[in-house]
Structure 1
Amino acid sequence: MLSSAHEPVIRATAPVVAAHLDEISSEFYDSLLGENPQLWNVFSRSAQAGGEQKRALAGAVAGFALSLIGAGPPMDTMFERVANRHASLGIQPEQYTVVGRYLMRAVGKVLGDAVTPEVAAAWDEVYWLMACKFIGMEARLYATQGVEPTSSFRDYEVSERHEEAFETVSFVLTPVDGAAAPHFRPGQYVTLAVDLPDGGRQLRQYSLSQAPGGQSLRITVRRVRGTDGKPDGLVSGHLIEHLHVGSKLPVSPPFGNLTPQPGQDPLLLISAGVGITPMASILGHLAESQPERQVVAVHAERSAERHPLRVEMLQHGSRIQGFQQQVWYETGASEGVPNADVRMGRVLTSEIPLPDNAEAYLCGPIPFMRGVRAGLLERGVAADRIRYEVFGSDHWQETD
């Protein structure tokens, strides 16, 4: 809870901070990474180059400040999602001290004399309330997995490689030490530590694309092609070109909260592109554990040749009594289904079968998910029954 002395300061200054988020974010990342180049191993080079990562932290702090003074929506869902992501990266408590120092420096540099000692103290309290919440949640996640953040990665070997669709490949990963692969919940992901040819290391999360219970883990990777001047995905291209049977790399324990809630309520699984990967895990799990549960799977793709895991989804669905599937392709109608513009997120939500009391799970490009979520809300689905996973920087807080 924000102290009573600082609450009026935050109320007065929150609009000013919000109006300068882009400048604060750019100054923060430029100074942090410029003076601490080793942190490039934690932050995505591609997301930094594209600009989408820069706004995430400052936006989260500003949003949290608004929620503290009752001027913004609750952020519990965002905290849960980001804490899982941090745990998958092995973030350590002391790193919050470094981030806080550079963030407050950026606020002072951008806003200048407006940042009095009183204002600085108020925003420092906001940051540390948020940081301590994350630290506590992440400590519990590490404890659940039985790992420490400094030693959470294990070495895995690629035991199988399968071409799934155009520029999309599945990799089966087996622990090098011969021990069993960790248990995971359907819809979770792992982080890969990828050593690049230039000597740098990058961390990337990939959803586990099979049901829990096997001796190995499987991820499905699509090559990311840059658009609108953004670069191609650095890690996805490297994995597809250079990761083969016998290749080894460190992998984190599974984390993530896009997991089905217990019960018998119908499930609506909506994905676009490679966002189908957690849905394949969820559907495979349901086929094994709850074949009587009603499930509607909806997938949007640019074309049939780009559609990964489709046969597998149909095989899972054939074992579920109340299964329905809809597929939309962007480039021309196929098999009698309507077109969908995946890139713009225009989805005909009015045509999605919507069972009573359905819980919706979304994964795909952010514009796509925004469009789907808006349509589901219009059709009466409660916001707390719509869950989603974001690939990359989590800058969708305004829709929580």
Structure 2
Amino acid sequence: MTALTADQMALVKATAPVFAEHGATITKHFYKRMFNAHPELKNLFNQTHQQSGTQPETLARAVYAYAANIDNLGALGGAVTHIAHKHASLNIRPEHYPIVGRHLLGAVADVLGDAVDQPTLDAWTLAYEQLAQIMIGTEAKLYDGASWSGFRPFKVIRKHVESSEITSFYLAPADGSSAGGFQPGQYVSVKRFVDQLGVDQPRQYSLSDAPHGRWLRISVKREAGRADTQPGHVSNLMHDGVEVGTVVHVSAPMGEFTLDRSNDTPVVLMSGGVGITPMASMLATLMIESDTRPVTFVHACRNASVHAFRDWLHEVADGHPNFRRAVFYENASAQDRAGVDYDFEGRLDIGRIEEAVLVPNADYYLCGPVAFMREQREALVARGVDEQRIHTEIFGSGMLD
């Protein structure tokens, strides 16, 4: 691969503001171009996010960040690792990168026209090739360490309703072999054919049980849709069309949001809504592996009807003296039991539980809506918690910064 010259880096960096202004237009046109030429690639991309515009916007932000830091890629931090895990979970392979590059650069030329000259396009071509090699190399290491390659058939051996919105699916390999290991906090992609779209659609779901090799458990929230959002194609298919005995295709576990199991420092797990799923995996693992490691479990949801794993949390609290919990119900009903189902009424407020969560040397794990995680992180940092000890999981197109 030909290296970028200093002048070419300067050209790419100078055109970064163009992506800030026109990026979403370019990336929307890119996806249209690519899918017209390679409709089979629709099976790799969330078509709901395509229709809503969130995926093109996310790509535009990523391209802008890369261009703006072309001369200092270390400034991108963990973004490359985060994207590589997502790609590996979707089975993105090296042969896909030339296709993406050809249509992305074509979209730049189509949208910007005479505003971009050939030297600039040449610089962007080399910049893309550089990025592709970085991603391919990072993803190769993930594939090498994965429990299996591609999508593997699993059979549903149990289906359990956790709340009015969330149902758990216990998945065992269809060939009877081991389900393999994973790190608590990781996720898998599950692929289902969506009749309305005419394509397979992968969706990523956190694993919600401790690793033990017998099965993998995912806990899926039904996305019913609202006035401004469409119902979730795959989540509704899982709830309504996947029963015990159904075979689904599952990728190997991926994700860098994982529990540090190497020490005995205190752990604070904080979740909102369906963000409880990776926390359940972390908590189950901690309860198995350590009798002495202090664990504080903080959760926020609307009320008991949507509170997944509620009964299990009661059992954990009764059986482990090193476990503390703080559950907030924003809209507790008359049937919800204060002190049993929940501990505090209202939105999660760290100011009300400082004694429980401000633990010396603790590691903090946050998962939930982006606004929820941003608020909790800011509250922790304001109270002196080292940002390096705060770990977050982000799905979809949201960003904390």
* TM-score, length basis structure 2: 0.90
Correspondence for 2:358? 354
CA distance in structure 2 between the partners assigned to 1:314 and 1:382 by the alignment = 31
SS in 2 for 1:74: helix
The alpha-carbon deviation at position 307 of structure 1 amounts to 0.8
Deviations 1:16-51 (A, max 9, x none): 221222212221222222332222211112222222
Where does structure 1 lack aligned partners over 5 or more consecutive residues?
341-346
| Native 8 Å contact 2:180 2:213 kept in 1 | no
SS in 2 for 1:20: helix
| Native 8 Å contact 1:287 1:319 kept in 2 | no
Within 5 Å, give how 1:231-246 maps onto structure 2. 231-246=230-245
Letter in 1 for 2:266: P
| Native 8 Å contact 1:293 1:320 kept in 2 | no
CA distance in structure 1 between the partners assigned to 2:182 and 2:70 by the alignment = 34
CA distance in structure 2 between the partners assigned to 1:320 and 1:63 by the alignment = 45
CA distance in structure 1 between the partners assigned to 2:380 and 2:32 by the alignment = 39
Greater alpha carbon shift after TM alignment, 165-174 vs 257-266: 257-266
Within 5 Å, give how 1:151-300 maps onto structure 2. 152-198=150-196, 199-261=198-260, 262-300=262-300
| Native 8 Å contact 1:293 1:321 kept in 2 | no
Deviations 1:335-386 (A, max 9, x none): 250312xxxxxx4233342212322212112222222222223223333322
Greater alpha carbon shift after TM alignment, 364-373 vs 84-93: 364-373
| Native 8 Å contact 2:302 2:332 kept in 1 | no
CA distance in structure 2 between the partners assigned to 1:2 and 1:326 by the alignment = 53
Structure 2 residue corresponding to 1:38, chosen from 40, 43, 49: 40
Correspondence for 1:85? 86
CA distance in structure 2 between the partners assigned to 1:77 and 1:129 by the alignment = 17
Query: Taking structure 1 as reference, are residues 248 and 121 closer, same or farther at Cα in structure 2, changes over 3 Å only?
Result: same
* TM-score, length basis structure 1: 0.90
SS in 2 for 1:258: coil
| Native 8 Å contact 2:147 2:180 kept in 1 | no
Greater alpha carbon shift after TM alignment, 309-318 vs 110-119: 309-318
CA distance in structure 2 between the partners assigned to 1:374 and 1:263 by the alignment = 26
Letter in 2 for 1:160: R
SS in 2 for 1:110: helix
SS in 2 for 1:25: helix
Tell me the number of residue pairs that the alignment of Structure 1 and Structure 2 aligns: 387
Q: CA RMSD in A?
A: 2.1
Letter in 2 for 1:103: L
CA distance in structure 1 between the partners assigned to 2:391 and 2:74 by the alignment = 16
Correspondence for 2:100? 99
| Native 8 Å contact 2:85 2:256 kept in 1 | yes
Structure 2 residue corresponding to 1:370, chosen from 348, 364, 374: 374
Query: Taking structure 1 as reference, are residues 6 and 282 closer, same or farther at Cα in structure 2, changes over 3 Å only?
Result: same
Query: Taking structure 1 as reference, are residues 99 and 327 closer, same or farther at Cα in structure 2, changes over 3 Å only?
Result: same
Correspondence for 1:145? 146
Query: Taking structure 1 as reference, are residues 297 and 100 closer, same or farther at Cα in structure 2, changes over 3 Å only?
Result: same
Query: Taking structure 1 as reference, are residues 114 and 145 closer, same or farther at Cα in structure 2, changes over 3 Å only?
Result: same
* Overall identity of the aligned pairs, in %: 39
| Native 8 Å contact 1:88 1:190 kept in 2 | yes
Deviations 1:228-252 (A, max 9, x none): 4220101000110011111111111
Structure 2 residue corresponding to 1:50, chosen from 52, 77, 94: 52
SS in 2 for 1:213: coil
Query: Taking structure 1 as reference, are residues 387 and 86 closer, same or farther at Cα in structure 2, changes over 3 Å only?
Result: same
Deviations 1:95-126 (A, max 9, x none): 01111111112222222222112222222233
The alpha-carbon deviation at position 146 of structure 1 amounts to 5.5
CA distance in structure 1 between the partners assigned to 2:147 and 2:167 by the alignment = 30
SS in 2 for 1:5: helix
Where does structure 2 lack aligned partners over 5 or more consecutive residues?
none
- Counterpart check, 1:7 vs 2:9: yes
SS in 1 for 2:264: coil
The alpha-carbon deviation at position 321 of structure 1 amounts to 4.1
SS in 1 for 2:95: helix
Query: Taking structure 1 as reference, are residues 16 and 259 closer, same or farther at Cα in structure 2, changes over 3 Å only?
Result: same
Query: Taking structure 1 as reference, are residues 79 and 291 closer, same or farther at Cα in structure 2, changes over 3 Å only?
Result: farther
CA distance in structure 2 between the partners assigned to 1:233 and 1:319 by the alignment = 37
The alpha-carbon deviation at position 319 of structure 1 amounts to 4.8
Query: Taking structure 1 as reference, are residues 303 and 51 closer, same or farther at Cα in structure 2, changes over 3 Å only?
Result: farther
The alpha-carbon deviation at position 289 of structure 1 amounts to 1.1
SS in 1 for 2:6: coil
Deviations 1:268-304 (A, max 9, x none): 2111111111000001101111232222211111221
| Native 8 Å contact 1:182 1:254 kept in 2 | no
- Counterpart check, 1:339 vs 2:346: yes
| Native 8 Å contact 1:64 1:75 kept in 2 | yes
SS in 2 for 1:229: coil
CA distance in structure 2 between the partners assigned to 1:215 and 1:277 by the alignment = 19
CA distance in structure 1 between the partners assigned to 2:141 and 2:318 by the alignment = 38
